[in-house]
A and B are shown apart, each in its own frame.
Chain A
C-alpha cells in the first residue's frame, strides 16, 4: 500500500465549478498536511497548510483533514482557468520532517 495515494486525473471542469481534490494515506502518525499547486516544470507552491484534523479556509480554497478516515480534501470554489495546474497533497510526521507527496492531480478549468 502506498503511503499517500492521489488520483492523477486528468480532471476537467467548466469555469465556475466547485472542484474537489482528495488524497488518502496509510500512516496514521501524519500530523501536518499541505496542498501545493504546481505549474509545468515549476516548483510546488504552497496553497494550504493544516495541522491535525479540521477545516481551513482561505479565499476560494478550503482544506479538510479527516484523520479518522485518513483522508484529506481540497475544495476550490468558483474555479478559474488560471487554476489549471497540478495539485499535490503532501504530509509529514512532524515539523521539519520530510514531506511525502501524492502523485498529483492534473486539473484543467475550461472557459
Chain B
C-alpha cells in the first residue's frame, strides 16, 4: 500500500537554529499538508499546498515557517529560527480523490525537540 515517508524520525536542535523536515508524499496525490501535534494535544493544521503554491495556512504558520516542493517527489517544511514551543510531532500528509484513491494519508511523523 502506498505510504507517505518522513525523515528524519527524530530531530534535536538548539533554539534559534533552522530545521528542515522532509516528506515524500504518495506519488499520484495532488494535495500536500503539514500538521503538528504537541504532546497530549490535538493534531493541528499548519499548511496545505496544491499546484505548487500554498492553498491555505493556519495562524500558527507564521513567517518563521515555509514549505517547498523542490522536485517532483519531495515536500519540505522549514522552520527558520526554532523556538522551544516548536517542539512537537510534525506530520506530513497527502490526499488524492480518484475512484480508488481518496482521503488523507499521514506519514509516521518527525519528532522535533528544541532545546
Q: A14–B106 Cα gap in the complex (Å)? A: 30
B109 touches A98 (CB 8 A): no
For chain A, residues 5 to 37, give those with C-beta under 8 angstroms from any C-beta of chain B.
34, 36
The 10 tightest CB contacts between A and B, nearest first, are A43-B106, A98-B45, A96-B31, A101-B43, A49-B103, A43-B108, A95-B97, A44-B106, A43-B109, A103-B42
Q: For B10, give the chain A residue with the smallest CB separation.
A: A41
Residues of A at the B interface (CB closer than 8 Å) are 34, 36, 41-46, 49, 88, 90, 95-104
- With a 10 A CB-CB cut-off, give which of A34, A44, A100 has the most chain B CB atoms: A44
Which of these, A41, A97, A100, A103, contacts B89 with CB under 8 Å? A41
- The distance from the CB of A86 to the nearest CB of chain B, in whole angstroms, is 10
Known: A34-B103, A95-B97, A96-B50. A42 touches B109 (CB 8 A): yes
Is B91 close to A, CB under 8 A? Answer: yes
Residues of B at the A interface (CB closer than 8 Å) are 4, 6, 30-31, 33, 35, 41-45, 48, 50, 55-56, 58, 89, 91, 93, 95, 97, 102-109, 111
Q: For B58, give the chain A residue with the smallest CB separation.
A: A98
- With a 10 A CB-CB cut-off, give which of B56, B104, B111 has the most chain A CB atoms: B104
Which of these, A44, A46, A97, A100, contacts B91 with CB under 8 Å? A44
Known: A43-B109, A95-B95, A95-B97. A100 touches B45 (CB 8 A): yes
- The distance from the CB of B80 to the nearest CB of chain A, in whole angstroms, is 23
B97 touches A96 (CB 8 A): yes
Listed by A's residue number, 16 A-B pairs whose Cβ atoms lie within 8 Å are A34-B103, A42-B109, A43-B4, A43-B91, A43-B108, A44-B106, A46-B103, A95-B95, A96-B30, A96-B48, A96-B95, A96-B97, A98-B58, A99-B93, A100-B45, A101-B44
- The distance from the CB of A34 to the nearest CB of chain B, in whole angstroms, is 6
B33 touches A98 (CB 8 A): yes
Kindly list chain B residues whose C-beta atoms are within 8 Å of the C-beta of A103: 41-42
